[in-house]
C-alpha cells in the first residue's frame, strides 16, 4: 500500500510546515491568492521577514508566485499538500487497523469466560 513519495521533497514540505507563521500564511492562501503585503498584514514582523517565510514555502513547493503586471500574487500549491496527505494516510490506515485489533482483544478480555470463543 505504500506510495513512493520523494523523501527530499517530503522533508522540505514538513520543514516548511513546522513553523506556525508559514502555516498561517498557507491558511490565508487557502482562501485565495494574495500579495506579500496582504500576507504580511496580520504579522508583527518586517516585510522581508514575511518574504523569507514565503520563499521557504515556495522552495518546498507549497506556494507559487504568479506574474500579474507589477504584482506577484502568491497562491497555494495543493499538489504538495496532497503528497503530505497521501503519506499520512498510509500510516493512518495502519494505526486504524491496529486499533481495531486492540478493540477486539479488549472486548475478548472483558467477555465472560464462557463467551470468549463466540467472538
pLDDT, one tens digit per residue, over 57-107 is: 999 999 999 876 667 899 999 889 899 998 889 888 888 888 888 888 888
Residue 13 burial (C-beta neighbours within 10 Å; 0-12, 13-18, 19+): buried
72 neighbors 39 (Cβ within 8 angstroms): no
How many domains are contained in the chain?
1
> Does 43 fall in a domain?
yes
Q: Which residue has the higher pLDDT, 112 or 37?
A: 37
The rounded distance, in Å, linking the Cα atoms of 74 and 63 is 6
pTM of the predicted structure, to 2 decimals: 0.73
> Does 1 fall in a domain?
no
Q: Which residues constitute the domain of residue 27?
A: 7-118
Give Cβ neighbours of residue 3 (< 8 Å, ≥ 6 apart). 86, 87, 90
> Does 78 fall in a domain?
yes
pLDDT in tens, 14-49: 999 999 999 999 999 999 999 999 999 999 999 999
Q: Which residue has the higher pLDDT, 21 or 2?
A: 21
CATH number of the domain bearing residue 61? 1.10.10.10
The rounded distance, in Å, linking the Cα atoms of 29 and 48 is 18
Amino acid at each position: 500500500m505504500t506510495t513512493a513519495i520523494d523523501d527530499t521533497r517530503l522533508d522540505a514540505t514538513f520543514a516548511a510546515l513546522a513553523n506556525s507563521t508559514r502555516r498561517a500564511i498557507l491558511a490565508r492562501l487557502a482562501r485565495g491568492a494574495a500579495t506579500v503585503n496582504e500576507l504580511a498584514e496580520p504579522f508583527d514582523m518586517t516585510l522581508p521577514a514575511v518574504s523569507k517565510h514565503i520563499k521557504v514555502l515556495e522552495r518546498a513547493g507549497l506556494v507559487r508566485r504568479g506574474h500579474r503586471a507589477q504584482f506577484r500574487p502568491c497562491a497555494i500549491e495543493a499538489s504538495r499538500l496532497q503528497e503530505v496527505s497521501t503519506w499520512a494516510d498510509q500510516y493512518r490506515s495502519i494505526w486504524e487497523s491496529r486499533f481495531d485489533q486492540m478493540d477486539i482483544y479488549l472486548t475478548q478480555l472483558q467477555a465472560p469466560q464462557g463467551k470468549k470463543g463466540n467472538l
